[in-house]
Amino acid sequence: MTRILFLCVSNSARSQMAEGLARHLLGENAEVMSAGSQPSQVNLHAIAAMAEIGIDISQQQSQSVDTIDPAAIDMVVTLCAEEVCPILPGKVKRLHWPISDPASGTGDRSSEENLEQFRIARDQIKARIAVLSGLLDIPPSPSAEEFHGSIRVQDLPGSVRFYAWLLNTWPKEWTHRYATFICNDLNLNFVLVVSDGKELHHDTLYHLGIGVADRGAVIAAYHQAVAFGAPIEKPPRTTWKGTPLHELWLTDPDGTLIEIYARLTNAELAHKPADELPEFLVPNTGPDAV
């Protein structure tokens, strides 16, 4: 369980809404509290904005950051935008989410206009906590040794010039359809592909690639992906046509293809089959699997 402290100045609006949202969204993955450098009381508009989404913070209390034991906190999230945020000393993970104070200037607005400012702050905080909720319990992931990415471009000459400048290297090769950059210092293989409306082979273009050490690492990545719940596009296999690779294909939540791959050793290349058909690396995952 991660112990999270939300901080703002008065501990009346942003940090109070964050506390209520985090307790609701993070559940048993986190122990949540909030505090401020000049604590006051929970703002009525904050209570109303949270009640609109079914979360009751009316019983929460403002407290001073000076009352918090740093040893009891794993993560501090500061929410100040224009003000100087309070500080909790100690060795903790620190995040800063600058959210404009919805209580600022309330005297110049109607009650409904004030409430709308609190809704905006509430929704911004909620979106950030929704991302945080997926980061608190990430299991082990593949150990990457290099990365491959490809993007579509309208102007290949202009884009090649730009990325040659940005990456400080000429492309390794180029055609009328694509250009490939190899950046050894970044462990990056980067491809620009002309966006001309033609059908392109999705196994080799428009994806993110992660290079791992060897065949065993690809197999291990498969089991890690299954445990994580990542969709498997193609199970681990050794392919011989084109660039021989041990590879695993996943899809991200938007359907973007992710290739996890390892290059074959010379000894492995020596065993290339005559028919060059893929070899599936995990039992019962090939095309004939039941």
Which H/E stretch holds residue 77? Answer: strand 75-78
Active site residue 183: no
Q: Which of the following is catalytic: 5, 8, 49, 156? A: 8
11: amino acid identity, one letter: N
CA distance 203 to 209: 10
CA distance 151 to 193: 6
DSSP state of 265: P
74 closest CA partner among 92, 101, 90, 58: 92
95: amino acid identity, one letter: L
Q: Which of the following is catalytic: 85, 88, 156, 194? A: 85
273, with CB counted inside 10 A (0-12, 13-18, 19+), is exposed
Reduced to 3 states (helix: H, G, I; strand: E, B; else coil), residue 59 is: coil
Active site residue 80: yes
Residues whose CB is less than 8 angstroms from the CB of residue 65 and which lie 6 or more positions away in sequence, other chains included: 7, 35, 36, 37, 86, 87, 88
Active site residue 85: yes
CA distance 290 to 288: 6
Residues whose CB is less than 8 angstroms from the CB of residue 35 and which lie 6 or more positions away in sequence, other chains included: 5, 6, 7, 11, 15, 62, 63, 64, 65, 67, 68, 86
95 closest CA partner among 118, 72, 125, 115: 125
Q: Which of the following is catalytic: 80, 99, 179, 264? A: 80
Tally of CA atoms within 13 A in the half-sphere of 264 that contains its CB: 19
Show which residues are catalytic: 8, 80, 85
